[in-house]
Amino acid sequence: MKNLNKIYFFTFLAIFIPSVSFAFTLLGSNFKAIITEVMGIINLLVPILTSVAFVVFFWGLSKFILNSNKPEEIKNGKSYMMWGVLVLFILLTFRVIVGFVSNELEIGGTTPVIPILRTS
């Protein structure tokens, strides 16, 4: 198992380091441009993770309600609900902090851009 974790870690580094160096050369080593790109990625990930957290919360709620006669399933349901609420709290806090910092540094807005498909 330890060898598998080392393989995952080195694979991540093998992908991450060239990506970062390519981003620096692509953006011309402009700090504001790099931060803007990272903010764009974060703005795409936060709604996806929020949706997953809602699904986990409601999965735990359904386990809690539907298995009310099984103590082990009630415990699992409570655990899922707790983790869902915790992740939602962390994502909301993270979103507020990122928004505050981006407004103070005048980097840009934090509202995610959702592409609209136009049929014309």
Q: What is the pLDDT of residues 49-79, one digit of tens each?
A: 899 999 999 999 999 899 888 889 889 999 9
> Residue 38: inside a domain, yes or no?
yes
The model carries a pTM of 0.59
| CA–CA dist 28, 36 (Å, integer) | 13
- For tokens 């995610």, the residue is 112
pLDDT, mean of residues 7-34? 69
> Residue 74: inside a domain, yes or no?
yes
- pLDDT bracket for residue 14 (50, 70, 90): confident
> Residue 115: inside a domain, yes or no?
no
| CA–CA dist 38, 44 (Å, integer) | 10
| CA–CA dist 80, 86 (Å, integer) | 10
- pLDDT bracket for residue 115 (50, 70, 90): low
> Residue 68: inside a domain, yes or no?
yes
Say what the pLDDT of residue 25 is. Answer: 65
| CA–CA dist 117, 120 (Å, integer) | 10
> Residue 11: inside a domain, yes or no?
no
Residue bearing the bigger pLDDT, 79 or 18: 79
| Number of domains composing the chain | 1
Domain that holds residue 52: 29-104
Angle at 112 between CA 110 and CA 113, to 5 degrees: 125
Say what the pLDDT of residue 105 is. Answer: 72
- Give the type of residue at 99: G
The Cα-based distances of 34 to 71, 92, 110 in angstroms read 50, 23, 15
Say what the pLDDT of residue 5 is. Answer: 73
Residue bearing the bigger pLDDT, 14 or 64: 64
Among 95, 96, 98, residue whose Cα is nearest residue 107:
98
> Residue 81: inside a domain, yes or no?
yes
Say what the pLDDT of residue 113 is. Answer: 47
The Cβ of residue 40 has, within 10 Å, a number of other Cβ atoms equal to: 13
